[in-house]
Amino acid sequence: LDRLLGLELGADDYVTKPFSPRVLLARMKSVLRRRPAEPSDRIILDDGNLIIDPARHETRVDGKTVDLTLTQYEILHYLARRPGFVRTRQQIVSAVRGDDTILSGRAIDVHVAGLRQKLKGHGRLIETVRGVGYRIAERLDEASSD
């Protein structure tokens, strides 16, 4: 009865005790995925030469749409939300595929290599932090050369 009342009053989900933390996390991610992206969620890097638009699930380089795989797009979006912050390969895996996914650091390296290639010269924005993972620079002139 409480569960039904909670949902009728506008709750997106209702969790009863006892609950699994993994199930709770999965439910939270599900609710966040259903949240529509706002136009203000666009990420603009390199003085507007690289634009990531979550509302359209689109990436533009120098004004042209770039065709990325889902994983490439999610990696780029994850890194671009916090320019300058280093993300470990495991953090990237968790962010784009979830904690339950078994994906090697080498697989992330392959996805990043493909992503850099598709972004052409702007691929240098994605910097390798040796032995750790990756970060993205806001502008090409701030990016280190690997």
Q: Which residues of the chain have pLDDT under 70?
A: 1, 35-40, 99-103, 140-146
What pLDDT, on the 0 to 100 scale, is given for residue 2?
77
Domains and CATH numbers, the chain: 2-34 (no CATH), 39-142 (1.10.10.10)
Return the H-helix or E-strand segment holding 51.
Answer: strand 50-53
What pLDDT, on the 0 to 100 scale, is given for residue 37?
58
pTM of the predicted model as reported, rounded to 2 decimal places = 0.69
Q: Three-class SS of residue 109?
A: helix
What pLDDT, on the 0 to 100 scale, is given for residue 145?
53
What pLDDT, on the 0 to 100 scale, is given for residue 134?
96
Are residues 125 and 143 in contact, defined by beta-carbon separation less than 8 angstroms?
yes
For residues 18 and 7, give the distance between their C-alpha atoms in angstroms, rounded to a whole number: 19
Three-state secondary structure of 85-127:
CCEEHHHHHHHHHCCCCCCCHHHHHHHHHHHHHHCHHHHHHEE
